[in-house]
Structures are given as C-alpha cells and as structure tokens.
Amino acid sequence: MTRLIVAAGGGGDAVAASMVDAALYGDERPAVIFTYAWDRLLIDPVPGPRGPADFTGLRLLTPGVFAITAEAEPIVPAGSTLPRLARELPQTLALIDPRHGVQGVTRQLEALIQHLAPESIDLVDVGGDILARGDEPTLRSPLADALTLAACCRVDAPVRLLIAGPGLDGELPAGELRGLLGRNVLTLAPAHIEPIAHVLEWHPSEATALLAATARDIRGLCEIRDAGLPVPLTDEGPTVHEADLNDAIGRNRLARAIASTTSLADAERLSREICGFSEIDYERDKATRLRTQPVRELDPSTALAQVADFEHQARARGISHTTFRRLTEALGLDGAQRERLRALLIASCPERYVAPLWHISPRA
C-alpha cells in the first residue's frame, strides 16, 4: 500500500507535494507523486509541457505511465527539473503526459490507481488558482490545474483536494479564497522545510519558495514573476487547507469544458475561449522574444549596480523580498545566469539571503 499525490501544476507543486507528504504522513513510506514536466522558460526553452519522448532513462511504471528516474535526462533542446528532483526527493515521480487531453490524463491516473491500489489520493495545488472560475483578471496559468482537476473528478476513486499557501502563486488573492477553503489540515513549520531545503536552493518555483519562506516565519511583501506581482507573506502562507473537489469543478469553467478533450490542442483552444488566453501561447510569445534578444553574460559589477537600482525602486513599491527568478528577469539575464546571480548576491551580502528569498532592506 502506498499513497498517490497528484501535483496540480508544474514542478513546483511536486516539491510542495513532497513537503506535504512528509508533514502529513511521515517519511517512512514516501508517496508516488504524479506530476508534469512543465517548467518555465528559465529552465525549459521549449514552451509547454514535456512528454515521455522528451526524456531518456525513464522507467515504465505501469502501462501508459513512466517514472522519472535518477538517470533520466531531458533531450536537448528541452529542459526539466524533474530528473534532479528524482535524485533528491524520496518520493517516486510519475510523469503526467497531457498530449491527449483530459481523457489521456484520466487513463494514466486510472492505470496508476489500479497498479498502486493507493490508500489515499491527494490533489495538491500551491496558491489555489485551481479554484478559479476562469475570468479573474489576475489569473495566469489555469490550463495545467484544469487538466488535473478534470481528470481527478473523472476517476472512480476518492480524491482529496488540498490547497497549500493560499494566494502565494500571485494569481488569486488569499482574501478571495478564504470562503472556498475547508478545514486547515496542516500548518507548515521550519522542521517541515528542512528535509527539502537543499532543493529550494536551486529549484526556480516561486510559489513553493514563498510557501517555504512563510513556513520559516518570513513576513512582508514579495515581488515575483517577470510582471513583478506583489504577494503578501502572512500567517496564512504556510497553511494547507482541504477544499471540496465537487465545488472546485463546479467553479472551474475551464476544467468542466475540457473534460472530454482528447488532445492538448483542444484544451488550449477552450482555454482561449473561456479564459481569453492560453498560458502556452504566452510561453510561445515570450520564447520568440527571447530568441531575438542577444545573450547577455553576467558581469558582476554591472549586475550588483543593477540590483541596487532594482532594490531602490522596489522599496518605493513597498517590497520587502523578491525571488531570484524575478531578479534574473528584471536584469534581463538569460535563465542560465540565475544560479550565477544568486551566488554573486549571497557572496556579496550573505545577511540579505533569507532562504530561499532575497531580502530588500528598508534602507540602502
């Protein structure tokens, strides 16, 4: 007997699922985490999610479902954080392949349930955008969550929906989510973060970074993403709540609309109709812009001066913290420079590194 956790969105939800798994159930029998290989352009220059054909070294877990092994590697030009996560997390990572729409994801989930006979199934979403209607002006990435939500509602097995860190993904404010959340099943604490602290040192997920930061009692206003979204870091941040799965599918117009889709292209088309956009289109447009920009090498003195200027402007906006992804994009650097920038800043002002965030002091 084991447990099955479905990570609702990208690779960051898999990291959060690992934290929640250990915090709720202990670390003696790690769960199987069913997750996308869907990293943003800082990691993967190819828009959209990756499928089994984009990797070497996968292991067939059950017909139609592959496990990401420690030996797996993405095939260039694709990129993925999952192979490294497979090496560093205790859970088994099973790959969601959304190429055949919700019908395909449902078949994969049914195969896993039949193979594992899990004692429990949890659907974990960081931030809570899985509860969106689809017309919210702050919504940025509804498609991945809608695919997993619709599939979980189609299987003949009980699935518990867990919302970790309400509002921390910068999509739906925590205040809008409060009335949609059920009981608090867990409040993450520093001890829950330590087993995966080494992952947070390199993984680019901003929502999971904020989840970990709030669990470590970091409070303030954090700026994230290329758009510079301000996200409050409050006492609600480290909480994990149940939410009603039927209520979620009842609210989520996109998840209902794509329930019978047999291709990712069909799901994308419906996302454009219902939400007014597809997050993969956004990735395609951004990838095109990045290809036309010259690759900039990180010059330490120039970068430090640019960061100082960024911080000066951020203070005026009331920002107290930011992510290294935000800094990398604000400086116009290639995603490959993120780790170098992070190391440079920590070496220059180690006291400003409040793992896994960068602290913007009130005064220069």
What digits encode the pLDDT tens for the residues 242-279? 999 999 999 999 999 999 999 999 999 999 999 999 99
1 pLDDT higher than 80:
no
d(CA 309, CA 320): 15
Mean of per-residue pLDDT scores for the chain: 96
pLDDT of residue 277: 97
362 pLDDT higher than 90:
no
176 pLDDT higher than 80:
yes
Strand order in the sheet with 357-359: 229-233, 220-224, 321-322, 357-359, 353-354
Q: Quote the pTM value.
A: 0.96
The pLDDT tens digits for 140-159 are 999 999 999 999 999 999 99
323 pLDDT higher than 80:
yes
d(CA 183, CA 170): 22
pLDDT of residue 281: 97
Confidence band (pLDDT; 50, 70, 90) for 11? Answer: confident
Confidence band (pLDDT; 50, 70, 90) for 290? Answer: confident
Contact of 92 with 32, CB cutoff 8 Å? yes
Better-scored residue on pLDDT, 19 or 296: 19
Q: Coil, helix or strand for 223?
A: strand
d(CA 319, CA 302): 22
293 pLDDT higher than 80:
no
Environment class of 224 (CB within 10 Å of its CB; exposed 0-12, middle 13-18, buried 19+) = buried
Contact of 141 with 279, CB cutoff 8 Å? yes
Nearest to 164 by CA among 217, 124, 222, 132: 124
Where b means 16+ CB within 10 Å and e means fewer, 35-45 reads bbbbbbbbbbb
Confidence band (pLDDT; 50, 70, 90) for 364? Answer: low
Token pair, residue 101, equals: 């729409």
User: How do the residues of the chain divide into helix, strand and coil, expressed in percent and rounded to 5?
Assistant: 45, 20, 35
Better-scored residue on pLDDT, 296 or 88: 88
Better-scored residue on pLDDT, 10 or 24: 24
Contact of 4 with 34, CB cutoff 8 Å? yes
